[in-house]
Structure 1
Amino acid sequence: MDVYKLSHDLTKRIYELQKKFPKEEIYGLVAQLRRSSSSIVANLIEGNYRFSKKEFKHFISISRGSCAELRYLIFLSYELGYLNEDEYQTLLRVCERIISMLTKLYNSF
């Protein structure tokens, strides 16, 4: 599915961008960014390997929540000056696209 690839690519982008964050954020904002971004695709994969569509649908919902959390953390990173305008807008667009894809996937069940 495209949502897997897009989510995985977003996680890799987050890992790359966080390298320029201040060292004091390594256990704070950086850890939260990594956790929420990787949670999107990890929950999709876990849900896909469950035995029922109902369980998969539940994990899609969790993935969508993780993406919403990531969207806020990206905004916070921008507000704190850790991301520039272009990085912020690009990441925001990708998050919105993933949320839309997850919503459609959820509603397809």
Structure 2
Amino acid sequence: MAAIKKFEDILSWQKARELTKLIGQFIDDGRFKSNFRLINQLEGAAGSIMDNIAEGFERSGNREFMQFLYISKGSCGEFRSQLYRALDREYFQKEEFSLLYNKSIEIAVLIQKLIDYLDHSALKGSKYKHRDQIEQ
């Protein structure tokens, strides 16, 4: 895996950004009428996916990063659950629902792969570099 220098380099963050933009376009076209609670929940869950990846990365420690990745992955599930609510209210057609659903699954898989990589990595994160050098 290539070294990631900033959270914007992380593929799952990039895909989550695309998902957030897409759900925003659906919301902005007026199909949700005045269901502001569902709009806020969908936007919040989609935003939480990308935001937790970013925040965890910026913590500079693998264990903390993994904790935020698990939260991000949980937000993928929350997003999919809310998609069902929107589908049941007929705010989406089945093809639109499938597109959003499949994108959120793809992101969850990418996040899990990143978690697995970090869990098996000997690197602890950049905030521990100085401490490791002192202990040696």
Q: What TM-score do you get using the length of structure 1 for normalisation? A: 0.95
Superimposed CA distance per residue, residues 34-74 of structure 1 (whole angstroms, 9 cap, x where no aligned partner): 10000000000000000311000000000000111001001
Residue aligning to 1:32: 41
Q: Which runs of 5+ in 2 are unaligned?
A: 1-9, 119-136
> What value does the CA root-mean-square deviation take over the aligned residues?
0.8
Q: Distance in 1 between matches of 2:95 and 2:79?
A: 17
Counterpart secondary structure, 1:81:
coil
Question: Does residue 41 of structure 1 match 2:50?
Answer: yes
Superimposed CA distance per residue, residues 3-61 of structure 1 (whole angstroms, 9 cap, x where no aligned partner): 111100000111111132111x11x1000001000000000000000031100000000
Matches within 5 A, 1:1-109: 1-19=10-28, 20-23=31-34, 25-26=35-36, 28-109=37-118
Q: Distance in 1 between matches of 2:60 and 2:99?
A: 36
Counterpart secondary structure, 1:82:
coil
Give the structure with the higher percent helix.
1
Residue aligning to 2:130: none
Counterpart secondary structure, 2:54:
helix
Q: Which runs of 5+ in 1 are unaligned?
A: none
Paired positions, count: 107
Counterpart secondary structure, 2:60:
coil
Q: What TM-score do you get using the length of structure 2 for normalisation? A: 0.76
Q: Which protein shows a greater Rg?
A: 2
